Amino acid sequence: MELREKVVKAHEQGNTSIRKLAARFDVSKSFVEWLLKRKQITGDIQPLRQGGSQKSELNGYSDELVALVEKYPDSTLSEYCEYWGSMYGQWISPSTMCRGLKRLGLTKKKRLLGSQAATDRVQKLRGEYWEKSKM
């Protein structure tokens, strides 16, 4: 007989507390409480399925990610996240964006050409970066 069944059977026989059951079967009190509650609600005491991977929020958006990188080739991960949120209403973290781009083999590191480095946009971003780093 499985341990779960033994615990439930001992509880159904009565005249014992949850703490004593936990001590008797060398399990935690919370396990006994959880098991009895599950038995009462679902009628089942079988263990739940273990593991399984979490799917990325960007799963199934490969074409959209490629289009985003093509449209904004010199953007940072944070900028990509902002564009993504404004375009699709789904706000994601830079690490999620990084993993999504990495999975598709798209580069994240952007190297500016001399002519691009002097643009107003780049100079503004660099100024903001240095102001933040001084704090």
Backbone angles phi, psi at 63, to 5 degrees: -65, -40
Q: Where are the domains of the chain?
A: 3-42, 57-107
Per residue in 34-62, pLDDT (tens digit) is 999 999 988 888 888 887 778 888 888 88
Q: Is 99 a residue whose pLDDT tops 70?
A: yes
Are the beta carbons of 46 and 63 closer than 8 angstroms?
A: no
Are the beta carbons of 92 and 85 closer than 8 angstroms?
A: yes
* Reported pTM: 0.47
User: Could you write out the three-class secondary structure of 61-122?
Assistant: CHHHHHHHHHHCCCCCHHHHHHHHHHHHCCCCCHHHHHHHHHHHCCCCCCCCCHHHHCCHHH
